Amino acid sequence: MHCPIPRSLALAALFALPVTLSAQAAGKGGDALSAAERSIVRAVDTRASEGLALLERIVNINSGTMNFAGVRAVGDALRAEFDALGFTTRWVDGAPFERAGHLVAEFKGGGSGPQLLLIGHLDTVFEPGSPFQKFERLSDSTARGPGIIDMKGGDVIIVQALKALKATGALAEMHVSVIMHGDEEKAGTPQDLAREDIRSLAKGARYAIGFEDGSGDPRTAVVARRSAGGWVLTSTGIPAHSSQIFREDIGFGAIYESARVLNAFRERLATQQYLTFNPGVALGGTDVRLDSTVTDGAASGKTNVVAKSMQVSGDIRTISPEQLAESKRVMQDIAAQSLPGTTSRITFDDGYPPMAPTDGNRELLARYDQVSRALGYGAVVAVDPSKAGAADVSFVAPFVSAAIDGVGLAGWDDHTDKETADLRMLAPLTKRAAVLLYRLHAEGRPKA
C-alpha cells in the first residue's frame, strides 16, 4: 500500500545497482564488517536458492485479502519456517474483524539486547477472480507474480535473514517478534481490533522494521509515511423553486454550501507540505444516497429545484499526528460557518495513522545506510514522504524508539498484473537486513 516511483526510474536504479553490488567491497564507504557479520553474509549466500524457492511457492498461493483460505495457507507456509527456527508462533483469528487473521512469531533468546519487531503481510490485492495468479520467470534476473514485491518478497527476506542469523549462532541471543498481517491491503473492521496485536507487540519493542517494497528503488528506505484517512461532508439546504434561491428565507441550497466548504478547504490548507485532501465522490440534489463504503451512491433532483442535500466523500493524508489534528480542526471550523439557509458537518475516518519523520527514524536509517556501505552496496537515503503511502509500520510508530520501512524486495509495477521483482536483489537485501538486525542487537538504542 504505497506509491511506487515511475517504472522508468525504477528500472534504471535496479539495473544499475547490481554493478556496485557485485564488487562486494566490504568496508568501503562504511564501517568494516566484523568476522561475525561476514559469516552472516556467507550464510545468506548459502541459502539463496531456498529463499527463491520459498518466494515462488508462496507467490503461487492466491492470497487476495478476501480469500481467507489462501491467506491462511500462506501463513501456514511461513509459520512452518518460523517454527523450524525455534520461534513460538500463533495465528490470530480474524473473525472478530472480518478477515482471515494474522501470523505472529516470537523468539526470546538468551541475550539482553533490544526487542526487534519485524513487519510483513500475507495478503495481496489479487483475489481468486484475477487472471494474474502465478509466479512467472521472465529472465535470469526478473520474475513476475501476484504480490511478489508487495510483499511476499519482503516476507521471504525476513525469513532468510533470520535463518542466516541462526546459522551463525547470533539468533540465539536475540529478541525478535514478527507479525504478518492478513489484511494489509484491505484492513479489517473494526480497525482498532484488527491492529490490536501489532500495537501490543510494539509496546515491548525498541525498533520496528517494515519490509514493504518502498519506493521501488533499493537505494532508498522509508522514515516517514503519510496517513490515509477519509472524510464525509454532508450539507443541507431548504428545498424550494429555483427562482427563489438566494432569498433570505430560502438561502443558497446544499450544493452551493458544499462548494463553499470545498473551496475554503483549498484556500486555507492546500499549501501545507505533505498535506493532501481529495474530494473523490460528490452527490447533490433533492434526494441523495451515499453508500456505506462512501465510494458509490445515487442522486436525483431537478434544475428548477433548490438542492436539499449534498454529500462529498474524500481522503486526507498527513505527515504527523499534529498535522492531522490541526487539519481536522480547520476543516470542522470551515464546515461550521454555513451559508444562510444551509448547514454542513464533516465526519472523519482516521484510517491508517501517519508515521512522522523522527530523529530516531533518521538514526535507524543511518545505521541501515552504514550496513549497506559496509557491504559495498552504496548509500541508502530516505524516500520523499510524498512517495510513501500508508503501511502497517505507522501503527507502531508511537511506541518504538525508531522505525523504518521499505526495505523489502525491489521491483516495479506492484498492484498491477505486471508486478515484477528484480531477483538479483533478494540476497543483497537479505544481507542488509540480517547485518542490521545483528548490529541493533549488539549496539542497543541509537544515540539521542
3-class secondary-structure state, position 300: strand
Task: State the pTM of this model.
Answer: 0.89
pLDDT for position 444? 62
Q: What is the DSSP letter of 139?
A: S
> Exposed e or buried b for every residue in 45-74, given b needs 16+ CB within 10 A?
eebeeebbebbbebbebbbbbbbbebbbbb
pLDDT of residue 2: 52
Identify the structural domains of the chain with CATH numbers, from first to last.
7-225+355-443 (3.40.630.10), 228-352 (3.30.70.360)
The per-residue pLDDT for 388 is 81
Task: Give the separation between CA 126 and CA 146, rounded to whole angstroms.
Answer: 6
Which one-letter amino acid corresponds to residue 9? L
- The string of pLDDT tens digits covering residues 112-125 is 899 999 999 999 99
Type of residue at 445: R
pLDDT score for 25: 44
Q: Counting beta carbons within 10 angstroms of the beta carbon of residue 192, is it exposed (0 to 12), middle (13 to 18) or buried (19 or more)?
A: exposed
Q: What are the grid coordinates assigned to 251, written together?
A: 438561502
Query: Per DSSP, what are the bridge partners of residue 275?
Result: none
Residue 151 CA to chain centroid, in angstroms?
10
Nearest to 229 by CA among 324, 121, 312: 324
In this prediction, residue 293 carries a pLDDT of 83
From first to last of its 448 residues, the chain has per-residue pLDDT tens of: 554 444 444 444 444 554 444 444 444 455 799 999 999 999 999 999 999 999 999 999 999 999 999 999 999 999 999 999 999 999 999 999 999 999 999 999 988 899 999 999 999 999 999 999 999 999 999 999 999 999 999 999 999 999 999 999 999 999 999 999 999 999 999 999 999 999 999 999 999 999 999 777 899 999 999 999 999 999 999 999 999 999 999 999 999 999 999 999 999 999 999 999 999 999 999 999 999 888 899 999 999 999 999 999 999 999 999 999 999 999 999 999 999 999 999 999 999 999 999 999 999 999 999 999 999 999 999 999 988 888 999 999 999 999 999 999 999 999 999 999 999 999 999 999 999 999 999 986 444 4
CB 340 within 8 A of CB 253: no
Asked if 131 and 123 count as a contact pair (C-beta separation under 8 A), the reply is no
Q: Measure the CA–CA gap between 50 and 35, rounded to whole angstroms.
A: 24
